[in-house]
Amino acid sequence: MTLTTDDLKVIEGSVRVADLRLAHALGIGKPIEIRKLIHRHRAELANYGQLVGAPAPGKRAVAAEFWLNEQQALVMCVLANCPGSAATHRELTDLFAQHRIALLRECRLIFGRRAAAKLWRQLGLPAVVEDEPAARASRAAPASSDQVKHFLAVSTVRRPGAQVQSSVLYAAYRAWCESTSADVVLTQTMFSLVVANLGFTKRCSSVMFWTGLTLVNHLAAVPTGEAGRLL
């Protein structure tokens, strides 16, 4: 397997894979060629959702990294027409399915059964018939949500106009979890869902930022090079 779930990132509200990682999986000799292929078929790919990372008009097609959603990545497997296209197509299908399952499990843990059922429908998964015991309402323990609240309370301050890169905030959260020996460490996807549920919003430029807050603690625990990307 050349791709793992670590290659999947939540960008612009959907799970995506980087173009060069897809090129590597497909076995394209010169990975940069995949960006030229994406550029040639950008209108077709746009039928399957926003094409994230498309270069600005007048710039070279290879000047920006593309992040493809599941449908776009599968279409690229067909368009690439490489010896590894069929295997990569199956691999991507399995990876995105694994990500959906993990997301549903965490959603139920944090937000409860009803929220997980709603997410199930939003993900376009098949309808299921529940038996009576399983249909009884249940509540997930709020521990995970409270954990993120506590992290934000001790490690950030709300400040109009401030922003922090989403990956930096998550790195600080993981470092904080390690320093406090936390029993549960959320994935970046679920961490982002909890932060958004607490009222914070994201802004996208070349990368994703959380707005309205800034880190004031745990900078030493952030991986080298990340702390300098705080604004």
Q: Which CATH architecture has domain 143-229?
A: Orthogonal Bundle (1.10)
Top-confidence range, 17-21, 54-58, 62-66, 181-185: 17-21
What are the boundaries of each domain within the chain? 5-105, 143-229
- Residue 141 clears pLDDT 60, i.e. is over it: no
Mean pLDDT across the stretch 72-93? 92
C-alpha–C-alpha distance, residues 77 and 28, integer Å: 11
Residues 6+ positions from 188 with CB-CB distance below 8 Å? 9, 10, 166, 167, 170
Average pLDDT (71-82) is 93
